[in-house]
Amino acid sequence: MKTNGKIIGLTCVECTKRYAENEVMYTCPACDIAGILDVEYDDDRARRQLTHDSLARAERSIWRYLPILPIADDARLPTLQIGMTPVMNTRRRNDR
């Protein structure tokens, strides 16, 4: 499995052991189910790619965040609109 460069590594929340992006899946082998893996993102890369200007120009969907999502750049994305669901005001909601 190839890496996408958006993730620096994975760290076990139980024993703090670090793993490469594709070295293990889901949990730390040493800690089993308690060893949930925290994902460490490349914050510098994200900061460079996801600017106020790029967000203002981007389509209003979840895919505006693609540069920082842990999805391969060449992944086939669903065509269904995902995210950015508007919140509508209703009389009942406004009465609270």
Specify whether the CB–CB gap between 15 and 31 falls below 8 A: yes
Predicted local confidence at residue 66, as pLDDT = 85
Q: What is the pLDDT of residues 51-82, one digit of tens each?
A: 999 999 988 888 888 888 878 778 888 877 77
Neighbours of 85 (CB within 10 A): 7
Query: How far apart are alpha carbons 23 and 8 in whole angstroms?
Result: 12
Instruction: Compute φ and ψ for 33, nearest 5 degrees.
Output: -65, -25
Question: What single letter denotes the amino acid at residue 89?
Answer: N
Residue 62 is encoded by which pair of tokens? 């979840």
**Does the pLDDT of residue 1 top 70, yes or no?**
no
Per-residue pLDDT, averaged over 6-26, amounts to: 94
